[in-house]
Amino acid sequence: MGDILLITFVFLVAGVLAVPLASRLGLGSVLGYLIAGIAISPLLAAFGVDVVSVQHFAEFGVVMMLFLVGLELEPRLLWSMRARLLGLGGLQVAVTAGLVMAAALALGQAWSVALAIGLVLALSSTAIVLQTLNEKGLMKSDGGRGGFSVLLFQDVAVIPILALIPLLALPELMDAMAGGAAAGDDHGNGHGGGLDLTHGLAGWQRALVMLGAIGVVIGGGTWLTRPLFRFIALANLREIFVAAALVLVVGIALLMTLVGLSPALGTFLAGVVLANSEYRHELESDIEPFKGLLLGLFFITVGAGFNFPLLFGNFAAIIGLTLGLMALKAAVLLALSFLFGIRGGDRWLFSLSLAQAGEFGFVLLSFTVANAVIPAAVADQLLLVVALSMLLTPALFILYDKVIAPRFAAGGGDEAADEITEQGPVIIAGHGRYGGIVNRLLREAGYATTVLDYSSAHLERLRAFGFRVYFGDATRPDLLHAAGIEAARLCVVALDGREQITALVRHVRQQHPHVHVVARAIDREHVYELYAAGAHDIIRETFDSAVRAGRSVLEALGDHPFEAERKVRQFVRQDKAHLAALAALYDPDVPLHENTAYVEKSREVMAENEAALKGMDRAFATRVDRGWSPPTAADVAAEESRTDPGEAGPR
Amino acid sequence: MAQLLIYYAHPGHHKSQVNRAMADAASGVEGVGFVDLYALYPRHDIDVDREQARLLAHEVILFQFPLFWYSTPSIIKEWEDLVLEHGFAYGAGGDRLDGKTMMLSLTAAGPEEAYTPGGYQHFPLRTFLTPLEQTARLCRMRFAAPYVLHGSLGAPGDGRLDPHVAGYRRLIEAIRDDRYDFAAADGHDIVTAETLPIRGEG
């Protein structure tokens, strides 16, 4: 117990210290974690921690990351990416593997070893690249999307590669390893254990089982999750929802492992299926912290597992191999970017970001060693190359950020405008009697909205009308983040609870000052609170309808409708003036009855209102009456005796 | 029977003396369409389809209003801007009002002699009405001589209100019954209660 606490503490401290430092220096979190890993590696060695097994555990972060990526990707969007997914991804893997194989042959490896090396090194690091792209907000750029296509293809390609590698086994290594080879399956794609239940089935049976499992994920995601989450949401306990989200991801990963498929692929599919669900943002913000911590742990283990003695033993060779590999991979990607029309700065982003070898490289290398494909001595050097290339990747991102991106940003100003963000420019928090009307109005006016509400029964009804609404507590900053508050122009705060409204307004105004806030006020006093909290527009929930009711009464009493309208306008104008005068005196820290200036002013206003009620306030009537008043008889007489100054003389 | 539609507009209806009495009289006439624009659209949100349908269903369109700053109250301008659409009232295919008649019934605070080159209004009244006249022409409508009360503010005091209101009622009934002589009216700049060219009244 003490050991686990101590090791956890070491890992956490390393991350907590190194990541902010790296971010401060503009190096990005990935490099921070890697450096933290290197820094604590002596400690871990002293405690006897098995870094490799921690790494396998941490790789689950990649599974979660792909689930999150899937959530961001609607099926329609995925379908529209199919050409790139297969073309770009397929060509990248095939061409890179071929060239690496050729290089390995040239360096004197046997063809089977060379082929295995080619396949292993063709893959890139999903963890580093997606994490960095997300962090820098580049996922939705053309280069980011291209990179994602390639990574997704690679993730799927791991499965056939895993199937192929045992066929490349070297007879002499086989002999040396007799007995221990079966252990190789333990790392089936790295994310699961040796649980594959499809052993012993014929090929077509296996295929059938796999298709069935994918069907379960898609079907379950489409039809089962909604009632399930609805049921869970009824409990109104946040942690149960988090637990349910974890059950979903872990369960799918388990199912995929059982049938011999990639867990990352399974959770990715589940994410895509749920991308249109109203629970999407809630799932996103629930899984996000776990993903972040696991990926961080993974990067730390990469740093910690770095074999310095071996590196310094073969310094020139390892460095040469690493740089050569990265140059080769970048060159292939650059060539493909021409073929697939990735232009400008995006081309360089695409080429540089994917130039490393990836975490699958670790998995596949241990798998090849276990299957007697690559000699252990070669594999150890390759492990170092993989790790070193990952270590260098943040440097390439920095190169892109500091040197390449500014050059293209200066060149063409209209490139940024092409990007379309998925999230609506307007976030509506609370879709009840108030927010619902605002949403309907905006949708009919053609604006995209993102709606957050915490009543799942409510959302169920709305879905029937085809609205896109999301489940979640809008007062939670992470959910707001998931809903895209950073990119939003406007936030309508239409929650039911008075305190929640004020808290959310205050949060948005403080944390996201660029967002225009329109807030629902429960009553007069709440208006003052919201005014102090900084809301731009404060709209009382019942005021306008009550005023309209009053207008209807005036009309029913015989007022001409336009006369009634003018009285109402004057009333509203006067009320707003009073409200503004009192709001300026309101101090959130002083109770209303102790605020002497406020009390004084409100007495004044009350007296005025009372006078108006008793018909004593002539000012009100005068203001209403002012328009279209005919001149008095005296005015008329004066007018008629007047002559045009320019036309003096008798009329 | 001619289908007559009266559009009445006075933003200060409740303090009007002449126009309110005229509107009360007009709205009581059988077989005539009467619309108080400020009552129907107190927030100026004119329903274009509804008003166009109304135009199509009538042959004579009569606007009743007080002259404000040599023009109509603002809602009539809004009505024109929205209802007289291109392709409906004018322009390519805009012949839906072809052959209909537009007439005005207006009150002016200034006396008749003020609307002369030597008077303080400087121009004849019809000069101020030329935008409306040309509007009618562009819409291929006949523009009938307007029914006018000059010196309207003094009318209730000097006994001219009742004859004007009664004349208004006679005018409306005559148009409705096809007894109003539009051709004869064309010979006048304006018509008044005394000069209404009504057939069968001698």
pLDDT tens column, B93-103: 899 999 999 99
Which residues in chain A are closer than 8 Å to B36, comparing Cβ atoms? 560
**Quick one: CA dihedral A155, A158, A160, A161, positive or negative?**
positive
Which residues in chain B are closer than 8 Å to A650, comparing Cβ atoms? 118
Q: Do B39 and A562 touch (CB under 8 A)?
A: yes
Which residues in chain A are closer than 8 Å to B153, comparing Cβ atoms? 630-631, 633, 636
Whole-number pLDDT of residue A50: 83
Contact A425, A490 (CB under 8 A): yes
**A537 DSSP β-pair partners:** A518
Average of per-residue pLDDT across A278-307:
84
Asked whether the predicted pLDDT for residue A2 surpasses 90, the reply is no
Q: Do B12 and A628 touch (CB under 8 A)?
A: yes
Domains and CATH numbers, chain B: 4-185 (3.40.50.360)
Alpha helices for A557-651 (secondary structure H): 561-585, 596-613, 618-625, 633-640
Give tens-digit pLDDT for B68-77. Answer: 999 999 999 9
Helix (H) or strand (E) holding A554: helix A543-556
Give tens-digit pLDDT for A436-486. Answer: 899 889 988 888 888 888 766 666 666 666 666 777 777 777 788 878 888
Whole-number pLDDT of residue A422: 47
Average of per-residue pLDDT across B74-86:
96
Q: How, if at all, do strands B60-66 and B101-107 pair?
A: parallel
**Out of A8-12, A201-205, A635-639, least confident range:** A635-639
Whole-number pLDDT of residue A273: 83
Which residues in chain A are closer than 8 Å to B12, comparing Cβ atoms? 627-629
Contact A188, A162 (CB under 8 A): yes
Asked whether the predicted pLDDT for residue A255 surpasses 50, the reply is yes
Confidence band (pLDDT; 50, 70, 90) for A143? confident
Of B13, B15, B109, the CB nearest to A562: B13
Residue among A229, A221, A252, A225 at smallest CA distance from A60 = A252
Question: Considering only alpha carbons, which residue of chain A is nearest residue B154?
Answer: A633
Contact A238, A476 (CB under 8 A): no
Please tell me if residue A642 touches chain B, with a CB cutoff of 8 Å.
yes
Asked whether the predicted pLDDT for residue A184 surpasses 50, the reply is no
- Is A420-541 CATH 3.40.50.720? yes
Please tell me if residue A557 touches chain B, with a CB cutoff of 8 Å.
no
* Per-domain boundaries in chain A: 1-49, 50-407, 420-541, 555-628
Kindly report the nearest CA distance between residue A569 and chain B, in angstroms: 11
Portion 135-174 of B in contact with A at CB < 8 A: 151, 153-154, 157
Q: Do A644 and B117 touch (CB under 8 A)?
A: no
Give tens-digit pLDDT for A318-329. Answer: 889 999 999 999
Residue among A129, A468, A74 at smallest CA distance from A271 = A74
Whole-number pLDDT of residue A425: 85
Average of per-residue pLDDT across A190-218:
72
d(CA A542, CA A430): 16
Question: Considering only alpha carbons, which residue of chain B is nearest residue A624?
Answer: B12
Of B14, B43, B68, the CB nearest to A560: B14
| DSSP structure string for A468-490 | -EEES-TTSHHHHHHTTTTT-SE
Q: What angle do CA A7, A125, A265 make, to 5 degrees?
A: 95
Q: Do A651 and B13 touch (CB under 8 A)?
A: no
Whole-number pLDDT of residue A360: 77
Average of per-residue pLDDT across A367-377:
82
Which residues are within 8 A (CB) of A220 and not within 5 positions of it... i.e. 6 or more apart?
none
**Out of A273-287, A547-561, A563-577, least confident range:** A273-287
Whole-number pLDDT of residue A564: 92
Asked whether the predicted pLDDT for residue A645 surpasses 50, the reply is no
Neighbour-count burial for A6-33, b at 16+ CB within 10 Å, e otherwise: ebeebbeebbeebbeebeeeebbbbbbb
Kindly report the nearest CA distance between residue B106 and chain A, in angstroms: 15
Q: Do A631 and B157 touch (CB under 8 A)?
A: no
Kindly report the nearest CA distance between residue A624 and chain B, in angstroms: 10
Which residues in chain B are closer than 8 Å to A636, comparing Cβ atoms? 109, 153-154
CA distances from B79 to A607, B7, B58, B72, B148 (A): 42, 10, 16, 11, 22
Whole-number pLDDT of residue A455: 67
Whole-number pLDDT of residue A386: 86
Question: Considering only alpha carbons, which residue of chain B is nearest residue A625?
Answer: B12
d(CA B29, CA B5): 11
Confidence band (pLDDT; 50, 70, 90) for A187? very low
Q: Do A651 and B114 touch (CB under 8 A)?
A: yes
Whole-number pLDDT of residue A413: 38
Comparing A480 with A638, which gets the higher pLDDT? A480
Q: Do A562 and B68 touch (CB under 8 A)?
A: no
**A271 DSSP β-pair partners:** none
Q: Do B39 and A627 touch (CB under 8 A)?
A: no
Identify the residue among B10, B13, B115 best suited for mutation to test binding to A, counting A beta carbons within 10 A and taking the highest. B13
Comparing A12 with A79, which gets the higher pLDDT? A12
Identify the residue among B8, B10, B14 best suited for mutation to test binding to A, counting A beta carbons within 10 A and taking the highest. B14
Neighbour-count burial for B95-126, b at 16+ CB within 10 Å, e otherwise: ebbeebbbbbbbbbbbbeebbeeebbbeeebe
Q: Do A643 and B120 touch (CB under 8 A)?
A: yes
Asked whether the predicted pLDDT for residue A210 surpasses 90, the reply is no
Residue among A369, A382, A388, A360 at smallest CA distance from A56 = A360
CATH number for the region A50-407 comes to: 1.20.1530.20
Of B39, B111, B117, the CB nearest to A640: B111
Which residues in chain B are closer than 8 Å to A644, comparing Cβ atoms? 118-120, 122
Average of per-residue pLDDT across B61-72:
96
Of B39, B43, B122, the CB nearest to A644: B122
Tokens of A522: 């429960």
CA distances from A253 to A148, A202, A266, A520, A626 (A): 20, 23, 6, 43, 75
Asked whether the predicted pLDDT for residue A549 surpasses 90, the reply is yes
Portion 578-637 of A in contact with B at CB < 8 A: 625, 627-631, 633, 636
Whole-number pLDDT of residue A149: 87
Which residues are within 8 A (CB) of A316 and not within 5 positions of it... i.e. 6 or more apart?
none
Cα A435 → chain centroid: 24
Q: Do B38 and A560 touch (CB under 8 A)?
A: yes
Contact B123, B110 (CB under 8 A): no
Comparing A626 with B197, which gets the higher pLDDT? B197
Q: Do A644 and B116 touch (CB under 8 A)?
A: no
Cα A507 → chain centroid: 19
Q: Which residue matches tokens 């009569």?
A: B62
Please tell me if residue A641 touches chain B, with a CB cutoff of 8 Å.
no
Contact A34, A299 (CB under 8 A): yes
Comparing A621 with A59, which gets the higher pLDDT? A59
Identify the residue among B74, B120, B149 best suited for mutation to test binding to A, counting A beta carbons within 10 A and taking the highest. B120
Q: Do B113 and A651 touch (CB under 8 A)?
A: yes
Of A562, A627, A630, the CB nearest to B153: A630
Whole-number pLDDT of residue A199: 66
**Out of A44-53, A180-189, A632-641, B70-79, least confident range:** A180-189
Mean pLDDT across chain A: 80
Confidence band (pLDDT; 50, 70, 90) for A185? very low
Kindly report the nearest CA distance between residue A540 and chain B, in angstroms: 21
Please tell me if residue B182 touches chain A, with a CB cutoff of 8 Å.
no
Asked whether the predicted pLDDT for residue A391 surpasses 90, the reply is no
**Out of A400-404, B33-37, B166-170, least confident range:** A400-404
Q: What angle do CA A291, A382, A135 make, to 5 degrees?
A: 25
Average of per-residue pLDDT across B135-162:
95
Please tell me if residue B116 touches chain A, with a CB cutoff of 8 Å.
yes
